[in-house]
Structure 1
Amino acid sequence: MGVLGPKMAFRVLVGCKRVIDYAVKVRVKPDKTGVVTDGVKHSLNPFDEIAIEEAVRLKEKKIATEIVAVSCGPPKCQEVLRTALAMGADRGIHIEVPDEEYASLQPIHVSKILAKLAAQEEASMIIVGKQAIDDDCNQTAQMTAAFLDWPQATFASKIEKTNGDLLVTREVDGGLETIKVKLPAVLSTDLRLNEPRYATLPNIMKAKKKKIDKKKPADLGVDITQHVEVLKVEEPPVRQAGVIIENAEQLVSKLREAGHIQ
């Protein structure tokens, strides 16, 4: 599984999640069971857009030979797969999950699906965004690597291939860290890795003819039974208006009144 050789294809799997567009103001449902999604604009997760761009650049450098975009969810997820195909992915795989089950789909389920697909497709690399902007879990890459027992390089801001290894510069709390990982490997992308290209009209038209395979989690032997129950979703508290402080003495007085200092 994933063993590289001179005559083998270098296939890259890229995760593509459909999320509420970053420019949309999210609203909580009246019953507080989640957020309003009906009639709301959705788009490809920005971090996954960076992942697609990096895969396309690897292909342009003659490193990758095929890019396979993968998305899990209801039929509307094919929209983001078409976006990925228009950006340069060669084909797509849609893992069909009904709306009622998609609401409880978790990173561990997606990780198992990606791991199974990596084995079936004999992938050399998996690239996903470091997190999705809807749930901010930041778990999929790490768990996928664990299921496959592959090296992982998360929060990548620069990727270079040297022979059978990858040199990955990643962002850490103290600055930048450069690590070497052997292929096959799992990577997650950070914001500074690249600037995703816009899909041109000719490429959008070509994407309509590219193949999207449909599978179900059960076809891969993956159980998507819910493990976590969301009890309540609430909007963050409204920030109180600030006050103008004339001097340090007033500041200390206000802090004491608020109980922040003794």
Structure 2
Amino acid sequence: MDLVSLLGTILAFLVIIVGTILKGSTLEALLNPAAFVIVFCGTAAALLVQTPGPVLKRALAMLPMVYRPPVHRPSELIERIVGWSEISRRQGLLGLEPQIDGESDGFVRKGLQLLVDGSEPDALRGVLEVELEAREHNELVAAKVFENAGVYSPTMGIIGAVMGLMAVMQNLADPSKLGHGIAAAFVATIYGVALANLLMLPMSARLKSLVRRQTQMREIFIEGLVSIAQGDNPRQIEAKLQGYLP
């Protein structure tokens, strides 16, 4: 669990609630079912129109990564690669075959299998880089779904506000309803802007950052396997891969 991201989300809600109270309003003023339907359901409808089903499904599957991000330890990966290179020098590339079944990442298993099968370094790099680029592209497209939601929700908030003001204009003859009606109209704007800037856009940026970190890990992995295929010395491989570390 990423406590920093969780704390940020909780703080986002507290900002709206505490700010409303400090401005002299009440929590009941924030509760408006009509505004909720217009902003949240309207944003969801826009995403359904724009986003293909598989991309939307992937985006929802990535959402838990905001609070439970995958663990990236480049130094540990480099140690494993150096260990594989030492095994290959002692036992040959076939000595790495038992390592394949112990890997949970399909990308790692595929790379090790290509290495064990005796693929040439250039062919090995080519196959893995094509898959890396495809994976990165698909994951960035999925992360952009939340960015798109952050674009649509403020507009839906404005639509909700205008619809609320239309209802107010129909009750101009009753001044007692004007204040409440205008306040309710602007609740939709609060929903739309808050949804975009406190949740959707930060989530999208967070997921994109995680995708880039995962890409860096896979780049280290590819470079390490190519070095093993070239027969480089384990110490040379370690020194080369250390350049990826900050």
Q: State the TM bucket, normalised to the shorter chain.
A: under 0.3
Quick check: which has more Rg, 1 or 2? 2
TM-score (norm 1): 0.22
Where relative contact order (Cα < 8 A, 6+ residues apart) is larger, the structure is 2
TM-score (norm 2): 0.23
More strand by share: 1
